[in-house]
Each structure stands twice: as structure tokens, then as C-alpha cells.
């Protein structure tokens, strides 16, 4: 399978967010690249599907930094919707909003199977779980992906942010997760 080493839509979107993401930029960008590649490998995607996945992926966790919160789903959707409006792609708003809002759903997303929501959830879970959930992707392929796009502290940063959140919100330890 081919590793997509250049994702122009992701690069253009994230370039605008680099100052906000700060020192976490390379880790987040590499996470996005890994999950996008996983989505492309899990399902044959049309050019339009590839565009949607790149847009949703660039924004899916951006609320961590844009909203300075671990409850980052709503502050991740808002800038994605603005981007779609600014680029004349508002017709994709519902699907991309669902891709972002449901990407940490614990169970399979079944409501709109024609949409990319479940594929996106799986692609993120492959990387978030460090390959524990591979959905049939081979370990050597995932290792090559991690070598091409190193973690750069992404998961360690998430753990630190989650620990700080938990200390302040012990009754709501993982607000981004959905059943």
C-alpha cells in the first residue's frame, strides 16, 4: 500500500493553525498524516472522499488547542464549518461535522453507512491506540507509517493534557468519548 507523504489540504489547513498548536504541531500533524493514511488503506476512497477525510482530519482534534480544553469536539467542529463555508464546500458540512463529532465513539457508527463517519472513526482509532486496533492493517505497514511520520510526543502530550483535565474534572474524565 502506498504511504501518502504529501497531503496538500492537510498542509494548507494546518499551516494556518501552527501558531495556535505551537510546540505540539509536528506531533499533531504526524498524527493526522498517520490517521489519513489509515483511512485510505481501510477503504478505497474517491478523490472527493480523500478531500473530505483530509479536511475532517486536519480539524478533528484542533479544539484541544483552539479551545484549550480536553472537551475539544465542539471547538473542533466550529473552525471546520467556517473552513467549509469559506471554501464553498458547505454541502459537506453535515458529514464532516459527524466525522469530527463521532471520531471517539466507542461503538461502531451505523446511522449513515454511506457517509465516511465509521471509516474516519476507525482510522483515528488505529493511530490513537498505537495499532492495538488495526482493523486488518498489517503490523509491518503500521510500523512503516510510524517511521515515516514519527509520534514526536503526540501521545505523551495527550496523556499529560488528560491528567491535568482529570485533576480539575474528576467526574468528567473523558468528555470527548461517546458510547
Q: State pLDDT tens for residues 48-105.
A: 999 999 999 999 999 999 988 767 899 999 999 999 999 999 999 999 999 999 998 8
Residue ranges of domains in the chain? 8-168
Grid coordinates of 2: 502506498
How confident is the model over 2-52, as pLDDT tens digits? 999 999 999 999 999 999 999 999 999 999 999 999 999 999 999 999 999
3-state helix, strand, coil in the chain (%, to 5): 65, 0, 35
Helix (H) or strand (E) run with residue 14 in it: helix 8-21
The answer to whether 33 and 10 are in contact (CB under 8 A) is: yes
Topology given in CATH for the domain delimited by 8-168? Hypothetical protein af1432 (1.10.3210)
In angstroms, the Cα distances linking 50 to 55, 122, 126 are: 9, 15, 18
What pLDDT does residue 167 have?
Answer: 65
Amino acid at each position: 500500500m502506498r504511504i501518502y507523504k504529501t497531503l496538500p489540504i492537510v498542509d494548507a489547513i494546518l499551516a494556518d493553525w501552527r501558531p495556535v498548536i505551537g510546540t505540539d504541531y509536528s506531533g499533531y500533524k504526524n498524527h493526522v498524516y498517520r490517521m489519513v493514511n489509515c483511512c485510505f488503506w481501510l477503504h478505497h476512497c474517491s478523490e472527493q472522499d480523500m478531500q473530505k477525510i483530509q479536511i475532517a482530519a486536519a480539524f478533528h482534534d484542533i479544539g484541544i488547542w483552539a479551545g484549550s480544553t480536553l472537551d475539544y469536539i465542539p471547538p473542533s467542529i466550529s473552525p471546520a464549518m467556517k473552513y467549509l463555508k469559506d471554501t464553498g464546500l458547505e454541502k459537506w458540512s453535515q458529514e464532516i461535522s459527524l466525522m469530527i463529532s463521532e471520531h471517539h465513539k466507542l461503538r461502531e457508527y451505523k446511522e449513515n453507512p454511506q457517509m465516511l463517519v465509521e471509516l474516519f472513526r476507525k482510522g483515528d482509532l488505529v493511530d490513537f491506540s498505537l495499532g492495538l486496533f488495526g482493523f486488518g492493517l498489517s503490523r509491518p505497514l503500521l510500523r512503516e507509517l510510524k517511521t515515516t511520520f514519527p509520534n514526536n510526543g503526540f501521545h505523551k502530550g495527550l496523556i499529560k493534557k488528560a491528567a491535568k483535565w482529570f485533576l480539575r474534572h474528576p467526574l468528567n474524565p473523558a468528555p470527548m468519548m461517546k458510547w
